[in-house]
Structures are given as C-alpha cells and as structure tokens.
C-alpha cells in the first residue's frame, strides 16, 4: 500500500523550479551568454567609441546605453527564447511537460520568470559596464522605462515563441539570429530614427525594434515619453500573444 502523498508540489514552487532550470540553462550556455551579454556589451563599447547613433543635445553614453539595453532585451526575450523553445519542441520537452504537474501554463510562466530574471542580471552587468564608461543614469528616466521594458519583453518574447512554435528547429536558429541582427543594426535599435533616410523612417517606426529603440532613447536621454512608439510596441505585444495562441504548435509533427 502506498502511504505516501501523491500530489503535485504547490503551483508557485513548480513555476519557480522551472524558472530556475531555464535560467540555469540560459546562463550556463556559452552561445546564450554571447547573445545575452557579449553582444550588447559590444554595442555599448562600439557606440561609445564611434561617432555614430548619436542625438543632438543627448550625451553619447546615454544613447549608447539605450541601444545596449534594448539589444539586451531583444537578445534574451526573442533570440534566446526562440532557440531554447525551438529545441525543447524538437526534443519532445513540450510534450513531456504537458504530462507533468507543471503543465503548459506552468512551463510558460516559468519561462517568462526566467526571462525577467536574466534581464535583471543583464541590466546589472551592462549598467556597471556603462557606469565604468561614464554613464550617470537618472532614476526617473529608469522608472519610466519599466512599463516599456515589460511591454517590450512581451512583444519580443511572443515573437520568439512564434518563431519557435511554427518553424523547423534549423529554421528557428537561422531566423532568430538573422532577425536579431536586423533588429539591432537596421531595425531602429542601434541608430536613432532621425539617422535613417526619410523613406525608411515610417517603416522602422512601425517595427517593435524601432519603437523600443526610440522609447529607450527618450527614457534615458531625458526626452518626453513617446505615446506613438509605446502604442506601436503595445500593438506588437498584443498581436504577438494572439498569434502565439493561434499558431504555436507544441509538437514537431
């Protein structure tokens, strides 16, 4: 006779346990560290040293930090999650978790928590690097960026899940890395919209990366909150979640 209690662990413990596993995998994988820390750090150093991506009346270190933190957000929310979830889907992990007490909801909740946890770590490391390079952040600007940060995480996280849940694993790798590079280089993250040719400006303005880049620069450069850009990011976030609900496939077959 089984005298043990056969029951699931409490919901919060299950989710925290999954978040810890995901965060551990993210932080112990060399390629993921490259994407999460090294590439944003290169953006910071590049923009600090080269006379590009700057705005009039804004200290170069502020625009550089804005681009760096936006790059960090996209790297973890989009690229890392797309790759990790894509492999989990191919390896049948998404099927297996659905049969455990964690379930699909718990898997997603843990994943979001792990992403936010890694974000905090990225912000800390990159901020220290920024401070070493002369960045002096204002607390008000940083606080204004919290809703931007959360909306951006949802927008890029859902895009990452969409890539992971609809494409073959090989395609997930290629697409997520390519889009990451495009978002950062020509999608409005590394360079402000004013530096784009007029004809492209309207297009980049409507990209989630363009909106995020502009909002980060406004927040860290002491500019006014840009309602238009925030709405663009919000639409991407809501649309992304709806698209994931509609098209995400939990199995590879």
Partner 1 sequence: MHNDTPALVAEDLTLSYGPVRALDGLDLRAEHGAVTAVLGPNGAGKTTAISCATGLLRPDGGSVRVLGEDPWRAGPGHRARVGVMIQDGGLTSGAPALTLLRYGASLHADPLDVDEVAQHLGIDEFGGTLVRRLSGGQRQRLALALAIIGRPDLVFLDEPTAGMDPSIRRRVRTLIKGLARTGTAVVLTTHLMDDVAGLADSVCVIARGRALASGSVDEVISDHQAGRGAACLQATLRDIEPGSLDALTADLQSLAAKHGARLELGAGGAADLESVLLDLMEEDA
Q: Interface residues with partner 1 (CB under 8 A)?
A: 1-2, 4-11, 13-14, 17-18, 20-21, 24-25, 28-29, 84, 87-88, 91-93, 95-103, 106, 251
Give me the least distance between CB of 89 and partner 1, in Å please. Answer: 11
Distance CA(114)–CA(187), nearest Å, equals: 26
Nearer to partner 1, 80 or 151 (CB): 80
Give me the least distance between CB of 105 and partner 1, in Å please. Answer: 9
Which residue in 214, 203, 186 sits closest to 58, CA to CA?
214
Dihedral of CA atoms 196, 233, 229, 220 in degrees, nearest 10, equals -90
- Assess contact for 77 and 112: CB atoms under 8 A: no
Give me the least distance between CB of 237 and partner 1, in Å please. Answer: 27
Give me the least distance between CB of 83 and partner 1, in Å please. Answer: 10
Q: What residues have CB less than 8 Å from 224, skipping those under 6 apart?
A: 218
Give me the least distance between CB of 36 and partner 1, in Å please. Answer: 14
Which residue in 123, 185, 129 sits closest to 149, CA to CA?
123
Q: Which two tokens stand for residue 206?
A: 């409507």
Instruction: Look at residue 72 and give its three-state secondary structure.
Output: helix
Residue 210 C-alpha from the chain's centroid: 14
Give me the least distance between CB of 84 and partner 1, in Å please. Answer: 7
Q: What angle do CA 188, 126, 216 make, to 5 degrees?
A: 35
């Amino acid at each position: 006779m089984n005298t043990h209690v056969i029951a699931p662990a409490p919901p919060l413990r299950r989710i925290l346990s999954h978040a810890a596993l995901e965060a551990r995998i993210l932080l112990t994988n060399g390629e993921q560290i490259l994407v999460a820390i090294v590439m944003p750090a290169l953006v910071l150093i590049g923009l600090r040293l080269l006379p590009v991506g700057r705005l009039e009346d804004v200290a170069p270190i502020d625009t550089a930090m804005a681009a760096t933190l936006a790059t960090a957000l996209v790297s973890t929310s989009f690229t890392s999650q797309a790759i990790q979830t894509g492999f989990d889907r191919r390896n049948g992990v998404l099927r297996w978790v659905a049969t455990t007490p964690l379930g699909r909801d718990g898997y997603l909740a843990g994943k979001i928590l792990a992403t936010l946890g890694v974000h905090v770590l990225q912000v800390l490391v990159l901020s220290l690097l920024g401070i070493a390079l002369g960045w002096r952040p204002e607390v008000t600007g940083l606080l204004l960026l919290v809703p931007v940060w959360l909306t951006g995480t949802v927008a890029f996280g859902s895009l990452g899940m969409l890539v992971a849940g609809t494409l073959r694993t090989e395609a997930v790798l290629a697409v997520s890395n390519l889009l990451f590079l495009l978002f950062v280089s020509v999608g409005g993250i590394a360079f402000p919209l004013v530096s784009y040719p007029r004809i492209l400006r309207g297009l980049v303005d409507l990209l989630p990366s363009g909106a995020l880049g502009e909002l980060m620069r406004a927040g860290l450069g002491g500019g006014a909150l840009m309602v238009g850009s925030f709405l663009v990011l919000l639409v991407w976030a809501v649309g992304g979640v709806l698209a994931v609900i509609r098209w995400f496939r939990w199995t590879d077959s």
